[in-house]
Amino acid sequence: MRLVILGPPGAGKGTQAASIVKEYQVPHISTGDIFRDNIKRGTDLGKKAKSYMDEGGLVPDELVNEIVIDRIKQDDCKDGFLLDGFPRTTNQAVVLDAALEAMKTKLDRAINIQVDTDLLVNRATGRRVCPECGETYHISNNPPKEAGICDHDGAKLIQRDDDKEETVAKRISVYESQTAPLIDYYKGQGLLLNVNGSQEIDQVFEDIKKGLGESRNQ
């Protein structure tokens, strides 16, 4: 199962991605996680990516394409993968299609999580992340057992710079202008699976499963 998950900032892509990779037993390839790991380690890639991410902009295609294409060529992706945060532009989608064609394979589905803008802002600005393990919480929708503390390792939760209200508004604007055209791109290929992301988390996942079909756990 070779999948792409689409949706604006705060749509719940990360939460649904975690359920998808567990259900369908494929690696989760998150460009955001890759960049944040590089930022934490202070690599050249991390420094370049941070300057764009902190301002709510997209990391340039040439930085993203190389790292993602290299990742999907690794052995653990031979039976499938879930791409989260890539492609973000039609140019990236074209590059991905060409790379998969060269590997004699192709995408199976592009999952599009749809959520109203007002709800997106509330979701994103309320998000808190564990800096140690990466676990994600929300101050009202998915709070930790103890306020501000990770359930798993006791670390103090943080609000990412790209989850602050001004940055979130810019990220949504960038998404609508640069990433939303991917919806038409994948619709034209007959790969698009639209899902109502305003529902409860479990119901969103049930709708995704209905659209994708049987998992390897069945």
Q: Which residues are catalytic, by number?
A: 13, 88, 127, 160, 171
**CA gyration radius for the chain?**
17
CB 192 within 8 A of CB 112: yes
The angle subtended at Cα 167 by Cα 161 and Cα 172, nearest 5°, is 130
Residue located via tokens 């930085």: 63
Element (H, E) at 120: helix 117-125
CB 4 within 8 A of CB 192: no
DSSP code of 79? T
3-state SS, one letter per residue, for 58-75: CCCHHHHHHHHHHHHCCH
Strand partners, 29: 83
| Structure token digits, residue 6 | 């689409």
Cα gap 96→10, rounded to integer Å: 24
Q: For residue 51, which amino acid is it?
A: S
Strand partners, 114: 196
